Amino acid sequence: MSKPIKNNPWYWVPPLYLTEGIPYVLIITVSVIMFKNLGVDNSDIGLYTSFLYLPWVIKPFWSPLVDLYGTKRKWFLVMQLILSITFLGIGLSLPTNSFFLLSLACFWVAAFASATNDIASDGFYLLALKEDQQSFFIGVRSTFYRVAMVTGQGLFVIVAGYLEQSLGDNTQAWSITMVMVAILMLVLTVVNLLTTPKVESQKEYVKEEALTFGKVFLSFFQKKQIGIALAFILMYRLGESQLVKMAAPFLLDARAEGGLALTTSEVGLIYGTFGIIALSVGGIIGGIVISRDGLGKWLLPMILALNIPNFFYFLLAYWQPESAIFPALIVIVEQLGYGFGFAAFMMYLIYIAEGVSKTAHYAIATGFMALGMMLPGMISGFVQEWLGYSGFFLWVVIAAFPGILLVKFVKFPQEFGKKKPSQASL
């Protein structure tokens, strides 16, 4: 390349976080819909797809390698190429007799590659942007990450649903869909290659980050009040961690089983159109208000906005409306609140990572975030089968209270997002 790429965040932040979000939602969420339509029961879906969170939980153990060797740009480009290959493998494995075992194996490889891609992409974001840019673009970043998630849960599910109806074969429909995902991932990898600037100098980088693995890892747990911080991370999405696993089965299940009996295409359409608009609005507003007023003013309203809409799922399960309009309205409210509330969560994680080895520390923080999603998600299918959908969604609402109560004890600069956080504050 003859000229270095100009560091304009508007060029590279959107595609980078699309590429980070799409594999995550395919692995964690769309796999649920796919396995549901391929005949796997709710308990197995909740258990085995929740195990796919594990790479995000344990990624702190190899995150220092991304800090210590190579550049983050090289790391995420390689991982994105691997993801393209693994989604192709998923598509090719579905028509086989051992599709569940083989596709899970491919999902596992994809999960490790995706978790490593997250480490490198997030680290690149922290290094390539100034602190005022980080707070401003947190809304753009979280919005495009969630746009990627809704694209996977919306657009690709719509395509799969259309193919299910036109081909009359769910297996073939999902096989083709996964091959399409592989192609899109390859295209996005090329886009990131062309748009991300080369902001890392290898010699300077190694000199700055020449720390041992142990020091990098242990220094995170030496931060002040880290116990409260980790408890807050684990509890922030305790309700959602269970909701996200059973929401799609609820919408797809027959009415006799407590579901709403929507088609695959209807579920994809709801999330991929109305949901994406509401999500984008919520995420952008969240980033703007944090940048303007600081996290202190908005943390409680944002965690409430993320959790209160879950109560409407209980109402849906209780009344089981026949029209798809009501689920669509609930998704609009839920996605708007989620986009708004998730911006605060991501900004809090960035704050925790502030200081030396911020890439590794951010990975550790997001590892605990993943643990908070994995463990409750593993039992979500069993809880749903025990309580039924109405009881399950009521339990999801109750599970949000510990995180909300912890807001009172969380410490952070009151003007975080407007001033540089003190490294001694945590």
- Expressed in percent and rounded to 5, the helix, strand and coil fractions of the chain are 80, 0, 20
Q: Which class is domain 14-198+222-409?
A: mainly alpha
What pLDDT sits at residue 367? 82
Long-range contacts of 222-228 (CB under 8 A, 24+ apart): 223/352, 223/355, 223/426, 224/424, 224/425, 224/426, 225/411, 225/426, 226/426, 228/406, 228/409, 228/410, 228/411
Per-domain residue ranges of the chain: 14-198+222-409
What pLDDT sits at residue 197? 84
Distance separating alpha carbons of residues 118 and 349, to the nearest angstrom: 14
pLDDT mean by block of 10 residues, the chain; 426 residues: 61 89 90 89 84 85 76 91 97 92 94 92 80 69 77 87 93 96 95 85 47 71 86 90 86 90 86 77 85 83 92 93 90 88 86 74 82 86 90 94 91 49 34
- Report pTM: 0.71
